[in-house]
Copies of this chain bind each other. A is one copy, B any other.
Amino acid sequence: MFDLDLRSRKPIYEQLVDKLKELIVNEVLKPDEQLPSVRTLAQELTINPNTIQKAYRELEIQGFIYSLKGKGSFVNPIAKGMDKEKISQVKQELEKLILEALYLGVTVEELQAMIVETDAKKGAD
């Protein structure tokens, strides 16, 4: 479900944060839905509970989830509209990458075609 890359330069907890954000924003995880517990998820992914907790804490700070001691962690219902900063961040990265591609000789048409194709692929979920 999470396909983490343990060898990535991006830390595991950060990969988790991003994945969970995506699931929340796209409402795969519904508002107020309970997330797997720190220990459960750690066992499933065979990583340390502390790493999960670090991700959950980050998500709570950013307002995507809320945690109740003794109960669990849940999707913040307000999180749906929370992706604006993420969008601008992605756009920024995207612009850098587009620029790089253009410098490498990739044409505008080719890039635009990529978008259409990717969009089609997205629908095929």
How far is B116's CA from A33's CA once the two chains are assembled, in angstroms?
Answer: 41
* Copies per assembly: 2
**Alpha-carbon distance between A79 and B1 when the two chains are bound, in angstroms:** 41
Which residues of A34-67 are within 8 A (CB) of B?
none
**What total of chain A residues lie within 8 Å of the partner, measured CB to CB?**
33
Give every chain B residue within 8 A of A106 (Cβ-Cβ). Answer: 87, 90-91
CA distance A15 to B105 in the complex (A): 20
Cα of A51 to Cα of B80 in the assembled complex, Å: 44
A116 to B116, CA, bound (A): 15
Judged by a CB distance under 8 angstroms, whether A75 is at the interface is no
The residues in A between 69 and 110 inclusive whose CB is less than 8 angstroms from any CB of B are 83, 86-87, 90-91, 93-95, 97-106, 108
**Chain B residues, CB < 8 A from A10:** 9
With a CB–CB cut-off of 8 A, which chain B residues contact A105?
83, 87
Quick one: given A97-B90, A97-B97, are A119 and B102 in contact (CB under 8 Å)?
A: yes
Identify 7 new A-B residue pairs, CB closer than 8 A, beyond the known A9-B9, A86-B104, A99-B122.
A25-B104, A91-B106, A94-B114, A97-B97, A98-B114, A108-B115, A115-B115
